[in-house]
Amino acid sequence: MTYSYYPGCTLKDRAKELDLYARASAKALGIELKELPQWQCCGAVYPAVKDEIASRLSSVRALMDAEEGKLVTMCSACHHVIKRTNYDWNNDENFRTKATNYMKPEVPYDGSTQVIHFLELIRDEIGFDELAKRVVNPLTGRKIGAFYGCMFLRPGKALAFDDPENPTIIENFIRALGAEAVTYPYRNECCGAYVVLEDKQVAVNQVDRALHSAKAAGVEELITACPLCRYNLIENAVKETMPVHYFTELLAEALGVKEVQ
């Protein structure tokens, strides 16, 4: 199976592990992630102003360049921005018209590309039961919690692949790897995000609440799909600390390809 793949800027720099372990794991699962040849930054943050057009055009170009009508993403922020842009294209005629006029493509984008997060691909195209059969190093005895963060599943109407208030996709992923999935109250709250640049204490408070919540529930390590969440959970942890991994790292470990990069 071959899928067009949008890695995003951070996966080429500070979050290389998220990308490298994903590629190794995909290969072990019989999946080829074919990187888009000329992708640009997704914009990192979805624009709050509805009539902002220019910052969403790189996402539109990525959607247009996807082969076979499917585009796989890895980073929560990239997934959030690109999928919301695709939603806008299909539901906002004003945005669609202005973006088309601005870009003037030879063939206008028809809005048909599916934006699929890698976890969604594993769940829907491979299946967690099948993933469990492929595991060669089960993570038995490890108590792992998911940290979804705020961008991975929200807004639910636009992203639409799990319940934003009571998600299960990462917990089922953890169980497929042979570990114990531990749920806790703050798993889908904001980590403090970019506000850390303006008011670090806000991020510190958010991180401490999340980590305290996780530890109280019995979590011993966390996994996430968001580079910013991982950064804040590690760098701004004050009262509580615990290991925080990218989900792809544990996937590569369970599939026996962690050292193959």
Locate the domains of the chain by residue range: 2-118, 138-255
138-255 under CATH 3.30.450.20, yes or no = no
Chain segment 216-260, per-residue pLDDT in tens: 999 999 999 999 999 999 999 999 999 999 999 999 999 999 985
**What is 2-118's CATH number, 2.40.170, 1.10.3470, 3.30.70, 3.40.50?**
3.40.50
Mean pLDDT of the region 136-150: 97
Query: Which among 28, 22, 14, 2 is positioned nearest to 74, based on CA atoms?
Result: 22
pLDDT band at 143 (very low <50, low <70, confident <90, very high): very high
Model pTM score: 0.96
pLDDT at 166 over 80: yes
Which pLDDT value is given to residue 129? 98
Q: Check whether 261 has a pLDDT greater than 50.
A: no
What pLDDT is stored for residue 50 in this prediction? 84
Mean pLDDT of the chain, nearest integer:
96
155 cis-preceded (ω within 30 degrees of 0): yes
Residue 242 neighbours by CB under 8 Å, 6+ apart: 211, 214, 215, 219, 220, 221, 222
C-alpha torsion sign, points 134, 139, 145, 151: negative
Alpha helices (runs of H) in 75-224, residue ranges in sequence order: 76-91, 93-103, 118-121, 128-134, 156-159, 169-176, 200-217
